[in-house]
Amino acid sequence: MNQVSELRANWIAFETIFVKEVRRFMRIWPQTLLPPAITMTLYFVIFGSVIGSRVGKMGGFEYMKFVVPGLIMMSVITNSYSNVASSFFSNKFQRSVEEIMVAPVPHSIILLGFVMGGVVRGMFTAVIVTMLSLFFVSFTIHDYLITFTAVFLTALIFSLGGFINALYARKFDDVSIIPTFVLTPLTYLGGVFYSLKALPEVWRDISMWNPILYQVNAFRYGMLGRAGMVDISDAFLVMALVSAVLYAVCLYLLNKGKGLRH
Amino acid sequence: MTKALEIRNLHKTYDNGHVALKGIDLEVAQGDFFALLGPNGAGKSTTIGIISSLVNKSSGKVSIFGHDIDRNLTLAKRHLGIVPQEFNFNQFEKVQDIIITQAGYYGMRSTVARKRCEHYLKALGLWDKRHESSRMLSGGMKRRLMIARALIHEPKLLILDEPTAGVDIELRRSLWDFMEEVNRNGTTIILTTHYLEEAEQMCNNIAIIDQGQIVENTSMKKLLGKLQKERFILDTLGGLQQKEFNVEGYLIEPRDDFSFEVEVDKTQGLNRLFTELGKSGIEVVSMRNKANRLEELFVSMTR
């Protein structure tokens, strides 16, 4: 097999995994796309109409305007993570992952196929939530490229995280532990609902170690034009670094056969 | 000539300390129909797992059509098709989708994949079920689905791990015919089975594995040649209980009024037995082996 045909074969293998992943979450849309739409609508109603009007300004914007980018990011994080974690784990659980493992698919292709499926779900969710937010607040996007890159990198990071979770998971409960006990607290404390300036200095310093803060603020900059206390180039540097490290970890674990081969 | 499969000094110790393979050497020639037999827990599935890269080996070498799985795993995998013992497909997917997706993993274009899918599903009697969810299939159909899936990339080496387990006799025979045809078309087949009649009927060569070691590796003909004694059941027209009969040199044990068992040494032959029975007025109407010949050898080797 020459190099060109090997490249073509790898592309078809990637396409197969990726399309299968996208079809999966589209087919079960009431479980994958509808819940974030409902949850975020509730958030918009509560923060926009009920609480938001009493909070006043946050980070130089009306509270509703401030909170929208954070809520979009929150749904991107949870959806991209859970997509890869649950899909790959259910392949493991049903042993259908063996179909891919016996085939001549490079590990990097397996990883990219599943992870890009998670990225697309994350971005799909972002579009849905953004459109819903327009019923509650009007805004124009400050910088499309930064907005898109921030969503893409965030979805990528959490899809990779979901993949690692799925490799280690032995039962379905293991897939929900990290989102419940790690992701949700980090997201809530990552500047989704408040500006870092509102925090006491100690908590502000601690928050600077939270990687989600950089994603939320980079995205907020892309949408609204202000990133709060986070430097925008630092934010993208952190995201790029975390993506690269997680990709390397995933590939290492796959090559080792963690959770897949005895 | 390059071997279809070459295994050298293969060892496997699991993390819990269980030693599954204690240095296996095995060669399977191209075009062979090879039986890999052994009792439960002997190491067959571990060996197959290592060949198909679903299990990490502790040490040793495995080559598929000359491609070492440590150095050229991708090429080795291209030549290999696996039908596992357990169902390992997504039970919520449709039959046709499972096959087409598998073709995609092998980098096959969709037009080629669809043609081959039609061919194999028709050959295995699953074409009418192609749009059905795989969980709706019967056990036998699920096994055939896994065979079609393993053949979609037309491998040169096909490993069938108990492909007829739980399959009714009619279907089992049709699967035998199908596998023989696949073998005739040039695919090397390695078969593990608990139906020893199946191995005896189809395989040219055989290896018996027990407690992580190969205890026998020879041709089926030579192995069956090792059988020193055979037991037969002879059915007669009846009236055995009224007759006193004993043929010198043969161990005869009556079963009922119509049949008896006889143990025949390989050196003796059966002509004298029939002559003597004829003299005693006993009319034999049919005769069969008491146990499968291979089964007797298998039990004695893995006891």
Structure tokens that stand for A95 in this block: 């042993």
Query: What is the residue-wise DSSP string for B250-277?
Result: SEEEE-SSSEEEEEEETTT-SHHHHHHH
Q: How many CB atoms lie within 10 A of CB A220?
A: 31
Lookup: tokens for B23: 């240095």
Residue B293, pLDDT score: 66
| Same domain, residue pair B243 and B217 | no
Look at residues A187, A188, A196 and name the one whose alpha carbon lies nearest to residue A60. A196
**Which of B13, B16, B54 should one mutate to test binding to chain A, selecting the residue with the greatest count of A CBs within 10 A?**
B54
Cα A12 → chain centroid: 25
What residue ranges do the domains of chain A occupy?
3-256
pLDDT, one tens digit per residue, over B177-226 is 999 999 999 999 999 987 777 888 889 999 999 999 999 898 988 887 77
Residue A1's pLDDT is what? 65
Q: What stretch of H or E contains B174?
A: helix B169-184
Q: Are B56 and A257 in contact (CB < 8 Å)? A: yes
Query: What value does the mean pLDDT take over residues A133-149?
Result: 91
Residues forming a β-bridge with B173 = none
CATH number assigned to the domain comprising residue B254: 3.30.70.1560
- Please, which residues bridge with residue B7 across strands? B26, B62
pLDDT digits (tens, 9 = 90+) for B240-261: 777 777 788 888 888 888 888 8
For residue B303, what pLDDT band results from cuts at 50, 70 and 90? low
Query: Cβ(B236)–Cβ(B259) under 8 Å?
Result: yes
Tell me which residue in A6, A96, A104 faces B88 most closely, judged by beta carbons: A96
CA distance to partner chain B, nearest, from residue A259 (Å): 11
Mean pLDDT score, B139-144? 91
Min Cα–Cα distance to chain B from A242, Å: 29
Is the residue at B115 inside a domain?
no
Interface residues from chain A to B (CB-CB < 8 Å) = 1, 5-6, 8-13, 15-17, 20, 91, 94-96, 98-106, 257, 261-262
Residues 6+ apart with CB under 8 A from B60: B7, B8, B9, B10, B11, B21, B23, B24
Residues forming beta bridges with residue A2, ordered by sequence position? none
Q: What is the 3-state secondary structure (H, E, C) of A197-249?
A: HHCCHHHHHHHCCCHHHHHHHHHHHHHHCCCCCCCHHHHHHHHHHHHHHHHHH
The reported pLDDT for the residue numbered A31 is: 92
Which chain A positions have a beta carbon within 8 Å of B75's beta carbon? 1, 104
Enumerate the residues of chain A whose CB falls inside 8 A of the CB of residue B161: none
Q: In the numeric block, which tokens belong to residue A32?
A: 């994958």
**Per the domain annotation, does B24 fall within a domain?**
yes
Taking only the tens place, the pLDDT of each residue in A34-72 is: 999 999 999 988 877 778 778 778 778 888 888 999 999
When pLDDT is averaged across residues A181-208 and rounded to a whole number, the result is 86
Least confident interval from A96-105, A169-178, B127-136: A169-178
CB contact under 8 A, A98 and B84: yes
Structure tokens, B182 = 């696949």
Q: What is the pLDDT of residue B165?
A: 79
What is the per-residue pLDDT across B23-45, written as a single tens digit (0 to 9) for each?
999 999 999 999 999 888 889 99
Say if residue B141's pLDDT is above 70.
yes
Among candidates B15, B91, B107 on the partner chain, residue whose Cβ is nearest the Cβ of A94:
B91
Contact residues on chain A for B90, CB-CB shorter than 8 A: 91, 94, 96
Which region among A22-31, A80-89, B224-233 has the lowest average model confidence (pLDDT)? B224-233
B277: in domain: yes
How many Å apart are CA B57 and CA B78, to the nearest integer?
Answer: 20
Q: How large is the average pLDDT for residues B56-81?
A: 95
Q: Which tokens sit at B189?
A: 């087949």
Provide the mean pLDDT of chain A: 91
Q: What is the DSSP letter of A51?
A: I
Is A220:A226 a contact under the CB 8 Å cutoff?
yes
pTM above 0.80, yes or no: yes
CA end-to-end span of chain B, whole Å?
36
User: ipTM value of the model?
Assistant: 0.89
Check pLDDT > 70 for residue B291: no
pLDDT at A211: 87
The domain total for chain B is: 2
Residue type, B23: G
Asked if A20 and A96 count as a contact pair (C-beta separation under 8 A), the reply is no
User: Cα-flanking dihedrals φ and ψ of residue B19, to 5°?
Assistant: -90, 110
* Segments forming the whole domain that contains residue B260: 227-301
Q: Is the pLDDT of residue B163 over 90?
A: no
pLDDT for res A24 = 95
pLDDT for B277 equals 84
To the nearest whole number, what is the mean pLDDT of chain B? 89
Mean pLDDT value across residues A198-223: 88
**pLDDT at B133 (0 to 100):** 95
- CA nearest to A226, candidates A58, A31, A17: A58
Considering only CB atoms, which chain B residues are within 8 Å of A25? none
Lowest mean pLDDT, pick from A195-209, B170-184, B221-235: B221-235
Judged by CB atoms closer than 8 Å, whether chains meet at B77 and A98 is answered as no
In a domain, B61, yes or no: yes
> Residue A20: is its pLDDT beyond 80?
yes
Residues B1 and B75 in one domain: yes
More confident residue, A230 or A135: A135
**Do both B233 and B290 map to the same domain?**
yes
Closest CA to A29 of A90, A67, A83: A83
Predicted local distance difference test score (pLDDT) of residue A154: 96
Q: Is B104–A16 a contact, with Cβ atoms under 8 angstroms apart?
A: yes
Search chain B and give the residue with CA nearest A15. Answer: B104
- pLDDT mean over B157-173: 86
pLDDT of residue A105: 95
| C-beta atoms of A99 and B105 within 8 A | yes
> Encoding tokens for residue B143?
């096994």
- pLDDT-derived band at A192, boundaries 50, 70, 90: confident
| pLDDT for position A5 | 85
Same domain, B26 and B2: yes
Look at residues B268, B198, B195, B199 and name the one whose alpha carbon lies nearest to residue B230: B268
Q: Tell me, rounded to whole angstroms, the distance of Cα A156 from its chain centroid.
A: 6
